[in-house]
Each structure stands twice: as C-alpha cells, then as structure tokens.
Structure 1
Amino acid sequence: MNITIFHNARCSNSRGALALIQDAGFTPTVIDYLQSPPSVDELKALVKACGLPVRELMRSKEAVYSELNLGDATLSEDALIAAIHAHPVLLNRPIVVTPKGTRLCRPPELVRELLP
C-alpha cells in the first residue's frame, strides 16, 4: 500500500501518526515538508483531496500567520496556498495520503481510517 505522510518530526501528532502507520506494518514515504515544501500545484491537490477549506489546513498560531495578516477573510484560497508554499511552517500536520483517501490526522489516531 502506498502511503505518504507530510511530516514534521518535532510535532507529537505527526510522530504519533507515523508510529501508527509503522506499527500497522507499513513503510510510508515520509516528506519533511519543512525541508522539501510541496509545490503550489501539490498543495492545491492536497487541499482538494482533503476536501477541506485551505484555512483548515493552516497553522493559525504561527507568528508568520499574523505577520502576513492571513486571517483576513478576503484572501483567496490561491493567496493562502501561496503563503503556505512560501512559509511551509503554516501547513498543519500530519497530512496522510493513502489509496483510501487524504486526511489531516489530528489527532493521530485518525490515520487508522486510512489504513486497511
């Protein structure tokens, strides 16, 4: 089974989801999105696959969120995606992609819904 996790090793939720995937016997592709940020097109695809508004995939408590005034309700989805691309710390994690779907796995136990 192909599994990809957009991962931040410093995040307990991300570590927890990764551990659950590995404990289930899978070796996922781990993308350290802070070191290798997804492209704008990849981010658009992730947002669409999650079926959530882009704001729900953003970390609004990051300093850069308020510095860039990203709470402005008039900003377009494209503007928010561009901000995430430029500042990958804004991407909430972990996002897990499997053949069963794509999901923000907060809490990490939600990853079980994506596993066989």
Structure 2
Amino acid sequence: MKATIWHNPKCGTSRKTLAILENLADVDLEVVEYLKTPPSREKLEQLYRDAGIAPRDGLRLRGTDAKERGLPDADADTLLEAMAADPILIERPLVETEKGVRLCRPQDRVLEIL
C-alpha cells in the first residue's frame, strides 16, 4: 500500500505517526516535509475533502499567527489560500492512502486508513 505523510520533523505527533508507517513492511511510504514542499491549494482542498473535514479543522492555531489574522473565522477559500501561502498554518500530520486521508491527531488515527 502506498502512503504519503505531510510531515514536520519537529513535531512529536508527526514523528510518532511516521514511526508507525515506517514499521509496516507493506507500506510504500512517501514523506513530504510540507514546510519545505507545501501542498498546493488544490491538493489541500482534496486532502480535507477526502478526510471529511473542513479546512478550518486543518488550521493550526498553536505557534502561528492564525488568530491575529482572523483565520479561525475565515471562509474555506481564504483558509486554503492562507495555508498554501504559509504552510506553518497547516495542522499536521496529514496521511493519505488509497483508503482515505486522516489528520493524525492523535497518531493512532493513521491505523484507520491502513
């Protein structure tokens, strides 16, 4: 099974999710450090749609200026544009497999799509 993780190596939850994926022999893993290689607005929209969550649910508040920018109250289009332009605003880790997408907080949520 192919799996893609949008990963931040400085994040403990992201590292734990990556470790779960790395310990599975049948997973063809792609690791994308999204702060270096951010997903496009279109990709983010697809990820959130496939995860069954709104962009607001994927907005990272802690350690960002999202509140100061009024993003928690913004519409989906504004959020997607802001996240694509400033990927620190993307909550992590996101994992995509052929079975779906999950925002893996907590890290065990990844098991739902394996």
> Secondary structure at 1:71's aligned position in 2?
helix
Give the TM-score of the pair, scaled to structure 1: 0.91
Q: Which residue of 2 aligns with 1:18?
A: 18
State the Cα distance separating 1:71 from its structure 2 match. Answer: 2.3
Q: Give the counterpart letter for 2:34 in structure 1.
A: Y
Secondary structure at 1:65's aligned position in 2? coil
Structure 1: distance between partners of 2:72 and 2:104: 23
- Partner SS for 1:21: helix
Paired residue for 1:32?
A: 33
Deviation of 1:2 after TM superposition, in Å, equals: 1.0
Superposed structure 1 runs of 4+ greater than 6 Å apart:
none
Q: In structure 2, how many angstroms separate the alpha carbons of the residues matched to 1:95 and 1:68?
A: 23
> Secondary structure of the equivalent of 1:64?
coil
Is residue 48 of structure 2 the alignment partner of residue 47 of structure 1?
Answer: yes
Taking structure 2 as the reference length, what is the TM-score of the superposition? 0.93
Q: State the one-letter code of the partner of 2:101.
A: T
Give the secondary-structure state (helix, strand or coil) at the position aligned to 2:80.
helix
Q: Percent identical across equivalent pairs?
A: 39
Unaligned runs of 5+ in 2: none
Deviation at residue 60 of structure 1 after TM alignment: 1.5
C-alpha distance in 2, partners of 1:53/1:62?
20
Pairs aligned (count):
113
> What secondary structure is seen at the aligned counterpart in 2 of 1:34?
coil
1:24-80 alpha-carbon deviations (Å, 9 max, x no partner): 1224100110001111111111111111011111112233202311122xx210001
1:102 aligned to 2:90? no
